[in-house]
Amino acid sequence: MAQPLYEGKAKQVFATDKSDEYIIHYKDDATAGNGAKHDQFAGKGVLNNTISCIIFEMLEAAGIKTHMIEKVNERDIRVKKVTILPLEVIVRNITAGSFCKRLGVEEGIVLDEPIFEMSYKNDDYGDPLINDDHAVALKLATRDEINFLREETLKINALLKEFFLKFNLKLVDFKIEFGKTDDGIIVLADEISPDTCRLWDVETNQKYDKDVFRQDIGDLIETYKAVLERMQTK
């Protein structure tokens, strides 16, 4: 097998015979706490690729520009070559996770308006939370690009909230990443899956996302399978 150009915690990126396309390969690894907790779950890569492709197709159909070209097989997706902006863009609709820990807020409070957050993608510094001025000062993105990211992200939030609600799931929060093509166009990249979203059952608030692994409260594969089944049966 060819050497990946890049290997992350859950995915590998490969060059293709086209200079402007990559193949992303989903692995079975799960990590939490910046790699402090690490395990492998047979079939996780297939589930995340399948779920993420369905979501990216839905977003494309709704007018969001993404890196997606086509799903190649159950673990691989062909994408436009992009340079990932070193920003983790997060939206919160309901309080959870680091927001609660950082601010001493209870989990599960429905926010009046979505919160847009950015973290600087830098493992050595624990992906610190930053604001627009920090991002501009560090030259991670221009002011105009950040304004675009905010607008596009809030549109994506509205689309994802409506999408998951059809499957009786509340979108609590999520993380997305954007990339820039060689032509300078910013598109949604990376993945959207139960690894990167918090999803709670509308009636019971049962968790259907990576928190089952982070908090050791359930079986990751069964949980991700249940998300995909909901997405396929409605």
Interface ranges with ligand UDP (CB under 6 A): 88, 90, 96-99, 127, 173-175, 195-198, 210
CB of 170 to ligand UDP, least distance (A): 12
CB of 225 to ligand UDP, least distance (A): 18
Nearer residue to ligand UDP within complex by CB, 88 or 145: 88
Nearer residue to ligand UDP within complex by CB, 25 or 198: 198
CB of 196 to ligand UDP, least distance (A): 4
Q: In the block, which residue shows the tokens 């993404």?
A: 66
How far is it, in rounded angstroms, from Cα 89 to Cα 79? 20
Nearer residue to ligand UDP within complex by CB, 26 or 99: 99
CB of 217 to ligand UDP, least distance (A): 14
Q: Are 117 and 91 in contact (CB under 8 A)?
A: yes
CB of 98 to ligand UDP, least distance (A): 4
Nearer residue to ligand UDP within complex by CB, 21 or 114: 114
Nearer residue to ligand UDP within complex by CB, 152 or 195: 195
DSSP 8-state class, residue 207: B
Residue nearest to ligand UDP as judged by C-beta position: 97
CB of 147 to ligand UDP, least distance (A): 21
DSSP 8-state class, residue 108: T
Nearer residue to ligand UDP within complex by CB, 171 or 231: 171
Nearer residue to ligand UDP within complex by CB, 185 or 202: 202
How far is it, in rounded angstroms, from Cα 218 to Cα 108? 19
Q: Which amino acid appears at position 32 of this protein?
A: A
CB of 119 to ligand UDP, least distance (A): 7
Measure CA 84 to chain center.
13
